[in-house]
Chains A and B, each alone.
Chain A
Amino acid sequence: MPYIPHDGLETAVMLAAVGVDSLDQLFDEIPPALQVHDMVLPEGLSEMALQRELEGRALSNAPLRCFAGGGAYAHHIPAIVWEITGRGEFYSAYTPYQPEASQGTLQVIYEYQSFITRLTGLEVSNASLYDGASGLAEACLMALRIQGSDKSILVPENLLPGWRRALDSVLGLQNIRLVSVPYDRATGTLILPADAGDAAALIIPQSNALGLLESVDALTDWAHAHGLLAVAVVNPLALALLKAPGDWGTQGADMAVGEGQPLGIPLSGGGPYFGFLACRKPHVRQLPGRLVAKTVDGQGREGFCLTLQAREQHIRRGKATSNICTNQGLMVTAAAIHMATLGGHGLQQTAVLCHERAVRLRELLTVVPGVSLPYGGPFFHEFVLRLPHAAVVVRDALLGHGLLAGLPLSDWGMGEAGDLLVCTTELLEETDLLAYRDALTAVLETL
């Protein structure tokens, strides 16, 4: 019996100790009419057969050179990251509610929180949320709690559409209005809103969904001048290079939230990733999710434990800051080890490489006949390419060349039909960039 250790004799001895004749009798309090004895499930497989079947499925997903981003990025993950993360002591532990037996996980989270505060320039980071988009929804709810009476959030139209949809679903349940902030169709960047209305916060994406860098200082100052909180949406790897949200404008952003996937998390078809959320210390009691603090034991030895648990659902129930319980602990473990392995220096080098490759690819592709660049502003590692044919058609044709060439903006209802969002990371070498150029040239000639 897979994973059930009992042999027939043991089962018999145990049944006798309980005082029942059969396993079925253990369920004698359940009305017989409710009991079923079969389910439409396949027969079980040996481990060997299971492996063969799933390896076949994995191989049937076409291996593609990845030039797609849009919130999920193909980066190199050093071998030691998942070697350590996959250790049973991390992999199969529960939430660290018994701190004496969980110092490993707790210290990892404390170090993770420390890394995130340094990347974002803010004082407090929680222990993670599900992903960037749901994390942003939590950040908005947090902003509304801090501000008290406000009823809406200012949401840029050039926020990643998947994130916007998550905001619609979650915030809509509490009748919170999302007020769109338009972007300049010529530059692709945000236009300062005319007024703040009853908004609690302005969301500021850096980069935005078009890959462009926003004037974050001006946006942050505008938010503060109108009594709003500034909520930064950032790529943590880009922060190795870009100004930390805590330094935006004259006072700095109030919160920073983002998708943690670029920090050592495999793409894995969309998850599990993790959302990070950082804030100022005075706002910590409104922070959702778990938080680890350093303390001492009875003998003065340093140790770590969960803190401010009265914010959370297992204590406060319906009045908690969020319903979140299980978060993305193992992903944060990987992220901490990833950041430690690369170090500050390695993260900066990686970010610079991502950027340089994007600059180089953009240069190579703009000389392909018919291809142009709709936006000229600065960017990190993603940019929009305007193609002479529908981007969806070109993207599909490039699959045949082994390339996932980017994300058609039309899938998001943004831009023009020919707009393709292209991303590069350190994984793509000069030969890959040239191969992209040649394949694109060839495909455009045939269309």
Chain B
Amino acid sequence: MSDSIFDHDHHFPAVELPSDIPAELLRKAPLNLPNPAELEVLRHYTRLSQKNFSIDTQFYPLGSCTMKYNPRIAHTMASLPGFARLHPDTPAPAMQGLLRVLWELQEWLAAATGMAAVSLTPAAGAQGELAGVAMIRAYHAARGDHGRRKMLIPTAAHGTNPASAQMAGFDVVEIPNLADGDLDMAFLDQHLGPDVAGIMLTNPSTLGVFERRIADIAARVHGAGGLLYYDGANLNAILGRVQPGQMGFDVMHLNLHKTFATPHGGGGPGAGAVAVQERLRPFLPLPMVTRAEEGALHWLDEGDLPQSIGRLSAHGGNVGVLLRAHAYIRRLGRAGVGRVSAYAALNANYLLRELQRVGYQAAFPGRRASHEFILSVSDLQKATGVRALDVAKRLLDFGIHAPTIYFPQLVPECLLIEPTETESKATLDRFVAVMAQIRQEALEQPELLREAPHHLPVGRLDEALAARRLDVAAAQ
């Protein structure tokens, strides 16, 4: 029986409600929330925190999520009262310090991606995708090109891609990948035409390999009148090395909570800034920060950008996250940002090689790993019945977070592993040793894996029961 906050309740006399508000507008029943003492709250949530795996406590090689160290200085800076206590509707002259940070971040992200302009407002990657495909839609509409209803998306893409395209009113056409991981060009050619608005790609792809024919893809899509969207989820693989702008992409989002080391927070907040080439600048979402000639900074609004796709939230997006990303880039500087992808790639390729050495099979053995790579344990499954899920759960017993599993779906029994550049060789070597031991266990005592984890607060949970009972709030 786990400890519940509802077990800690002390009784207070009822609060007298104001008499100048009509009774029919006031609460009918007293507010039934618990009243724990402060120390009880502190202990309860501190103990809960201790039931979590996190980057600060464990190696967390979760593919596609870029679980790198989140520098503490960024948190400290974003928490400064001069930022934290700033009301969003403060007039621009009284918030120049914040606007300067945001303006610089816009400039830096444009420089890092090789794009012309940046809007920081999307709150997460998926909202950035929605903004991006909405800009593609607005671009075609502004040219009177109304027949472009299709968005091409690789089968292996993140689920948010088709969901975002759908939300923006597009019909999704999925494109397969070939056995070597590259896109099926014949299929692409077959589907390009006057009804295609664009294509959404991430490069390196979710298969952990670089799409080598990207320049060719860009030429073909542009030739057919479509635009290219870059899903920035894998930007850590190429940061400082290859720029989406140079690859021919027209519009992209960045996951600042991946590439730029802002925390994942147990599921957000993220920040999904969008960057565009010049021809899409008029459609960027609002607000954005601009600098007048004399140096004063202010927000751009609908009057400045009449063709904008509009606003996605009530204010300027996840400003506190943007502050953290700014601090990270400023700390690293040009040289530091340039090193990110080199060491991310070094760690991934080293880990891939070492895991192959202890018997694991790469999904794309002939290819260089990007910042991440895919193993398939189909061989183990055939030999012992042990699945990727079982390997993942057993890793937890060793105090290592599981890699992403069963994504991308087209590789059977896959583990998507992303170590990031902030992990040391010693950590990687320990991971290899643990993976070697798990492989041995799979062959000798597979039930040890199938019943894992053994050493966590709970074992495998009954998810079917959870969905059936649907106990989603404590009973009153």
Contact = CB atoms under 8 A, between A and B. Distances in A.
Interface centre among A43, A113, A266 (most CB of B within 10 A): A266
A88 B70 CA distance: 9
A103 B458 contact: yes
A169 B310 contact: yes
Q: Which 7 A-B pairs have the closest CB atoms?
A: A44-B333, A88-B56, A58-B82, A330-B265, A270-B315, A329-B267, A169-B310
Contact of A89 (B50, B76, B125, B169): B50
Contacts of A6: 343, 346, 424-425
A349 B320 contact: no
Given A266-B84, A270-B315, A326-B269, A15 B462 contact: no
Interface string B444-476: 000000010100111111110111011111101
B21 A313 contact: no
A267 B266 contact: no
Contacts of A317: 159, 162-163
A57 B159 contact: no
B343 A4 contact: yes
B213 to A, nearest CB: 9
Contact of A326 (B97, B98, B125): B125
B311 A247 contact: no
Contact of A29 (B2, B71, B209): B209
What interface size band does chain A fall in? 35 or more
B337 A39 contact: yes
B319 A268 contact: yes
Contacts of B226: none
A298 B87 contact: no
Interface string B24-36: 1111111111111
Given A313-B160, A343-B34, A355-B21, A271 B123 contact: yes
B46 interface: yes
Given A87-B46, A322-B163, 13 more contacts: A27-B242, A42-B108, A42-B334, A89-B49, A107-B48, A118-B32, A169-B134, A173-B169, A274-B269, A302-B458, A307-B466, A333-B265, A348-B31
Interface string A319-331: 1101111111111
Contacts of A74: 85, 87
Residue of B25, B44, B240, B393 with most partner-chain A CB within 10 A? B25
B467 A308 contact: yes
Contacts of B257: 326
Given A41-B337, A266-B85, A50 B327 contact: yes
30 contacts: A5-B422, A34-B214, A36-B240, A36-B242, A44-B335, A54-B327, A64-B87, A84-B42, A86-B75, A91-B263, A92-B54, A92-B264, A94-B60, A94-B65, A96-B267, A100-B458, A162-B315, A268-B86, A272-B123, A303-B2, A304-B461, A305-B463, A317-B163, A318-B172, A329-B268, A331-B265, A344-B30, A344-B33, A345-B12, A352-B15
A250 interface: no
Which of B60, B98, B165, B337 gathers the greatest number of chain A CB atoms within 10 Å? Answer: B98
A407 B89 contact: yes
B127 A134 contact: yes
Contact of B15 (A82, A103, A111, A345): A345
Contact of A343 (B36, B78, B337): B36
A95 B163 contact: no
A355 B30 CA distance: 18
A399 B107 CA distance: 30
A290 B266 CA distance: 12
Interface stretch (B191-199, B273-281, B347-355, B434-442): B347-355
A446 interface: no
Contact of A292 (B95, B108, B472): B472
A59 B94 CA distance: 11
Nearest to A290: B267
Contact of B472 (A272, A307, A356): A307
A94 B53 CA distance: 9
Interface in A76-100: 78, 80, 82-84, 86-96, 98-100
A271 B126 contact: no
Contacts of B69: 3
B101 A54 contact: yes
Contacts of B345: 23, 26-27
A244 interface: yes
